[in-house]
Structure 1
Amino acid sequence: MPTPNTAVAADSAGLAPGRLAFRYWLDALWRATAAADSLRERAANMSAHEAAGMPPLLHFESEPVADGRDLDPPSNYRLLRVTRCGTDALEKHVRKGAAPVIVVDPRAGHGPGIGGFKRDSEVGMALLEGHPVYFVVFDPEPVEGQTMGAVVQTLAAFIDVVAKRHRGKAPIVYGNCQGGWAITLALSHCEHRAALAVLNGSPLSYWAGERGINPMRLLGGFTGGVWPAHWMSDLGNGRFDGAWLVQNFEALRPEGVFRKYDTLFAQPEAERDRFLEFERWWNGFYQLAGDEMLAIAGELFVGNRLEDGEVVVDGHCRADLKRIGAPLVIFSSYGDNITPPHQALGWLKEVFATTEDLVAAGQRVVYLLHKQVGHLGIFVSAGVARREHRAILHHAGTIQDLAPGLYEMVLDDAATGDGATAARFEPRRLEDLPFDANPAGFDKVQALSEAAERAYAQWVSPWVRMAVTPESARLMRELHPMRVSRQIWSEKATPALAWLPWTQQWLDQWGAHDPDRTANPWYQLERVGADACAQAWESWRTSRDLWAEVVFQQLYAR
């Protein structure tokens, strides 16, 4: 009598239609079980990570150098020195006397580690290029009364600390997203210096963007400005939950969320490890101080005050982008719908009226554009790390030696002998940059935001704070949809899920797993349906974003 294993082991081409259907449904049951077990393990990893205090998710070993809690004003940032890269031993490439590299990760809802998440990362490439590497991390909770200014001053202090450790040699400072504009603030006030500042996917012109493609910049117009952030901070007992920011990212491109889970279901044996590795970082939700969040939203994203030199960092020193002494490398991508090139580069024409003004200021700005990589890919893609990031670091000396002006860094396809991509620096003119930093309507949103925030702060906020307790704030965080949607897959929330590993093992024994499923026409039909669903999500999102632009224009830009 044939066993279930032999019943599904024949080649698909030789099976009758009924047997093909049976084989597909049996494999689909195995895939559904394997995907569900991955979600169960994700929930377990999330709980374990939280129980451990959510430490930085670095692939590299490190040692502490400085703690922002010891500074005045204090912050929850810490400076680490990378000491070892596991069995790869990339630290053996470090050259004596090479400029140190400081990598600053974004603090935008997630925890630190994305710049050193794997061997082929910004940290890994810096080690391969011979640089001693430092990494800036932050704790899950801010210190009491932490402000945006405290964070900026901490980063400035860390730059000075690293320089002193290397006999005054100015470091190369690498900033990812929020980390990029934070180090820009640190370098543009009170004359702090770096050898080179690399801004990866970092917004500095917060109103800029392309119609129908970058809708997040419109959000303030539909929420009334920054007062919702104030409200959520009050409900959080003075803390703003980073899970709200992560939820905004997922809502920005729902077809990407669908694709993530569909890919896991389609090929769980190939995707499980990659899925779980990334989700360890994606679901580590950190907190921001309420005052800090209000300053970020009000001064930068809604107020757009940075390019006008109106941001006061420490009570007396303004962040003037003209005072940045370090050469700048701006890396952005047209595939990035969170920080498009418009927001990364648009500020240049606002700060420097002409190319001649840029030259007269003695500034060197190099920009590098990618055609398609998304926002996270700028930081986590191994291919981008090996090509773009290694090239930036490899040619850092050349960039520092450029004459003042604007340049585009163009990478060649051929690689040099040491593995870094060859590059040339082509002069450009500010006047030719096609990015408008101040489109119509956003000034009205800023005025509305300021009025609504004053009203909320005076008439509503005191009553909300009186009603909130530490316990209610904790419960609100636990019940956030981003956490509930993950933890519902834990064995504590759903005890029956504890049977998933046993069920998958039993299905394996019965030969339910079909490694040749791609040849099955039923599986091919499933993939056609999945593609149609993803396209439907994308079409809905495109329509939503276009309508948002139309409504915004009617409300504010007429």
Structure 2
Amino acid sequence: MAQQPSTTATDRLWPATVANQMMLNLLSYQTDLWQRSVLHLDTLRERANNMLEHERAGKPPLLDFDYETVLDGRRLERPANYALLRITRVGDDCLEDCLDATKPPVVIVDPRAGHGPGIGGFKRDSEVGMALHEGHPVYFVAFFPEPVAGQTLGDVLDVLRRFVETVAERHPGKPPVLYGNCQAGWAIALLAADCEGLVGPAVLNGSPLSYWSGESGVNPMRLAGGLMGGAWLAHLLADLGDGRFDGAHLAVNFESLKPANTLWQKDYELFADIDGQRERFLDFERWWTGFYALSKEEITSIVGNLFVGNKLERGELKVCPGCTVDLRRIRNPLVIFASSGDNITPPHQALNWIPAVYPDTAALKAAGQRIVYLLNSHVGHLGIFVSARVARLEHRAILESVGELNDLAPGLYEMRIDNPTGDPDCHKPQFRVHFEERRVEDLDYPDQVPAFERVRALSEHNVALYETFLGPWVRLMSNPWTAEALRQLHPARTSRLLYAERFNPWMDSVKQLAASVASAREPLNTDNPFPQWEALNSAMIGSWLELAGTLRDGASEFAFRGLYGWPLAIDEGIGTESA
């Protein structure tokens, strides 16, 4: 009989050692999980408190720079709730000795699309920071939480023009560089295209000018107007707000685009790395949770004339009596910065107005216009404005190249940045910027005009029905009390304020518990397998939510095509029978 191999004491103890180690790992993970849960709740508590504190302070601009008010738009002949600020100091450093007198001033305009001002300069590595670093005098256009009663889009544009003229008077001979983020970008385009025009170069970051453009299955927001029946809903919400449109509605629209991020990923990233992500999360949420209002006249004009009517691209938008905005009037150089990863303002919406206005390259050159576009391959919509990496490379490259724009011959160019070092903090000549000439004919985006023309017609019909039959009753029942109640009860507010001690006294115990947890906090061993299991489950949840969002967007696309995408032959047949 063969002799069995002997079993050593070490061999007998090995399974027990593994089991003990697994048990220790599990206990460590459970302790860490409990600590992260407490700290996560405490972070949500602090976010709610920051939200309340910001509101009590009057929601000032969230700039990481000192500033002085140069002009208050509420005190002008045609008032609007905007203010022109001049950046005066960075921390303890006065700027006067750092500015280059030969460089033009930069005017940065933040978007007024539901949130407050500050996204262009709420940290040092930002558009404001890069402009200061390059030696430009910097001005910032802020706005107040509440609109002036009855202010219109024309009033806003008039105030913005006064701001630009004021900056130009302060720096004679150096036309200001205008920086417009998202909504502010198309506002600058409106100024450049109206009857007076602009002189200095304009940089449009993630700014939609061609509102019907987009890629099927990728850019679902442009379909919302058709699926909701047009602009009548903006009229209703503004009437319920007693003439004010709550910016929280727009914030919810943005969040609904990516349910996986809104419902899970953003919070899980904070929860998974509560020690490293806490301050970053709170800094961003200070801006994201500051909801600002628009007047009914503004929001209905924006939705009806731009997003649903697409009148800017078509040259049919009137901002004042006797003056129609025509994009062919733009003579100042334009830099258009867009990203393929932006599902709110994709390159289609940022660029497709060019072939709509200029049928070919020869027409663009004959107009004497210079248009430069810069494309990022992956950054999202907000990343165009807030990403430190984008600020340190793309925005720095734009500012360092502003002087070269006037030297370009009329035409269309793509701005290319060659950065062999891969370092976003490098300067010229470490990276090289060159402008490659392009053809207008190559901007070949799908034509989706017929379907959206039907949306526009239905929207005008529904708005007329609402204003005739339903609107008067809604306005009769609305008053400041009901409007404020609806504002305070908006889910975008209540879901956050629920964690404040003012509304939830139990959160005070969380604050005290979090202090003791933070003092005893120890990092988890990197070889513990349970965090990997947690991350795997989180990824699975995120994937399911992404799938749900994809299915929802596909269903929206299918419904939109069913409602508005009929073949042309059927339309012609209906028109013949009706005649």
TM-score normalised by structure 1 residue count = 0.95
In the other structure, the counterpart of 2:381 is 375
Match of 1:404 among 401, 406, 410: 410
Match of 1:247 among 247, 252, 262: 252
Q: Structure 2 matches for 1:139-178, cutoff 5 A?
A: 139-178=144-183
User: Residue 406 of structure 2 aligns to a residue in which SS?
Assistant: helix
In the other structure, the counterpart of 1:276 is 282
Is residue 2:218 matched to residue 1:208? no
Deviation at 1:508, TM superposition (A): 4.6
User: Residue 366 of structure 1 aligns to a residue in which SS?
Assistant: strand
In the other structure, the counterpart of 2:75 is 70
How has the CA–CA distance of structure 1 residues 518 and 557 changed in structure 2, closer, same or farther, with 3 Å as cutoff? farther
In the other structure, the counterpart of 1:532 is 540
Contact (CA 8 Å) 2:88, 2:94: kept in 1 or not?
Answer: no
More displaced, 402-411 or 18-27?
Answer: 18-27
Is residue 2:432 matched to residue 1:422? yes
Alignment partners' CA distance in 2, 1:382 and 1:450:
42
How has the CA–CA distance of structure 1 residues 237 and 508 changed in structure 2, closer, same or farther, with 3 Å as cutoff? closer
How has the CA–CA distance of structure 1 residues 508 and 414 changed in structure 2, closer, same or farther, with 3 Å as cutoff? closer
Match of 2:560 among 539, 549, 552: 552
In the other structure, the counterpart of 2:318 is 312
Match of 1:292 among 291, 295, 298: 298
User: Residue 437 of structure 2 aligns to a residue in which SS?
Assistant: strand
Q: Which amino acid aligns with 1:231?
A: L
Alignment partners' CA distance in 2, 1:147 and 1:417:
43
Match of 1:31 among 32, 36, 41: 36
In the other structure, the counterpart of 1:96 is 101
Alignment partners' CA distance in 1, 2:121 and 2:494:
28
Deviation at 1:493, TM superposition (A): 1.5
User: Residue 320 of structure 2 aligns to a residue in which SS?
Assistant: coil
Contact (CA 8 Å) 1:56, 1:137: kept in 2 or not?
Answer: yes
Q: Deviations over 1:99-133 (max 9, x none)?
A: 11100000000000001111111111111111111
Is residue 2:516 matched to residue 1:516? no
In the other structure, the counterpart of 1:4 is none
In the other structure, the counterpart of 1:465 is 475
Q: Which amino acid aligns with 1:243?
A: A
In the other structure, the counterpart of 2:442 is 432
Deviation at 1:23, TM superposition (A): 1.2
Contact (CA 8 Å) 2:168, 2:175: kept in 1 or not?
Answer: yes
Alignment partners' CA distance in 1, 2:544 and 2:62:
35
Alignment partners' CA distance in 1, 2:89 and 2:199:
25
How has the CA–CA distance of structure 1 residues 419 and 90 changed in structure 2, closer, same or farther, with 3 Å as cutoff? farther
Deviation at 1:28, TM superposition (A): 0.4
Match of 2:498 among 488, 492, 495: 488
Q: Deviations over 1:407-450 (max 9, x none)?
A: 00010014765577421100000100132464441110100000
Deviation at 1:518, TM superposition (A): 4.2
Match of 2:269 among 263, 272, 279: 263
> How many percent of aligned residue pairs carry the same amino acid?
52
User: Residue 436 of structure 2 aligns to a residue in which SS?
Assistant: strand
More displaced, 498-507 or 414-423?
Answer: 414-423
Give unpaired runs (5+ residues) of structure 1.
1-11
Is residue 2:451 matched to residue 1:441? yes
Q: Deviations over 1:249-288 (max 9, x none)?
A: 0001111222110011101111100000000000000000
How has the CA–CA distance of structure 1 residues 420 and 37 changed in structure 2, closer, same or farther, with 3 Å as cutoff? farther
Contact (CA 8 Å) 1:24, 1:523: kept in 2 or not?
Answer: yes
In the other structure, the counterpart of 1:54 is 59
How has the CA–CA distance of structure 1 residues 451 and 235 changed in structure 2, closer, same or farther, with 3 Å as cutoff? same
Q: How many residues align?
A: 545
Contact (CA 8 Å) 2:205, 2:337: kept in 1 or not?
Answer: yes
Q: Deviations over 1:331-376 (max 9, x none)?
A: 0000000000000000000000110000000000000000000000
Contact (CA 8 Å) 1:91, 1:127: kept in 2 or not?
Answer: no
Q: Which amino acid aligns with 2:473?
A: W
Deviation at 1:155, TM superposition (A): 1.1
In the other structure, the counterpart of 1:5 is none
Q: Which amino acid aligns with 1:46?
A: M
Contact (CA 8 Å) 2:99, 2:135: kept in 1 or not?
Answer: yes
User: Residue 104 of structure 2 aligns to a residue in which SS?
Assistant: coil
Deviation at 1:401, TM superposition (A): 1.1
User: Residue 336 of structure 1 aligns to a residue in which SS?
Assistant: coil
Deviation at 1:17, TM superposition (A): 1.6
Contact (CA 8 Å) 1:82, 1:133: kept in 2 or not?
Answer: yes
Deviation at 1:13, TM superposition (A): 9.0
Contact (CA 8 Å) 2:208, 2:345: kept in 1 or not?
Answer: yes
In the other structure, the counterpart of 1:506 is 516
Alignment partners' CA distance in 2, 1:318 and 1:544:
38
Deviation at 1:544, TM superposition (A): 1.1
Alignment partners' CA distance in 1, 2:267 and 2:468:
44
How has the CA–CA distance of structure 1 residues 13 and 227 changed in structure 2, closer, same or farther, with 3 Å as cutoff? farther
Q: Which amino acid aligns with 2:531?
A: Y
Contact (CA 8 Å) 2:29, 2:524: kept in 1 or not?
Answer: no
Contact (CA 8 Å) 2:74, 2:81: kept in 1 or not?
Answer: yes
Q: Which amino acid aligns with 1:287?
A: A
Alignment partners' CA distance in 2, 1:78 and 1:419:
37
Q: Which has the larger radius of gyration?
A: 2
Deviation at 1:91, TM superposition (A): 5.8
Contact (CA 8 Å) 1:202, 1:339: kept in 2 or not?
Answer: yes
Q: Deviations over 1:153-180 (max 9, x none)?
A: 1111111111111114211100000000
Contact (CA 8 Å) 1:345, 1:435: kept in 2 or not?
Answer: no
Contact (CA 8 Å) 1:64, 1:78: kept in 2 or not?
Answer: yes
Give unpaired runs (5+ residues) of structure 2.
1-16, 567-579
Q: Which amino acid aligns with 1:530?
A: S
Alignment partners' CA distance in 2, 1:13 and 1:133:
62
Contact (CA 8 Å) 2:419, 2:430: kept in 1 or not?
Answer: no
Match of 2:230 among 204, 225, 244: 225
Alignment partners' CA distance in 1, 2:77 and 2:348:
36
Is residue 2:327 matched to residue 1:321? yes
User: Residue 237 of structure 1 aligns to a residue in which SS?
Assistant: coil
How has the CA–CA distance of structure 1 residues 75 and 15 changed in structure 2, closer, same or farther, with 3 Å as cutoff? farther
How has the CA–CA distance of structure 1 residues 437 and 198 changed in structure 2, closer, same or farther, with 3 Å as cutoff? farther
Deviation at 1:237, TM superposition (A): 0.2
Deviation at 1:505, TM superposition (A): 3.1
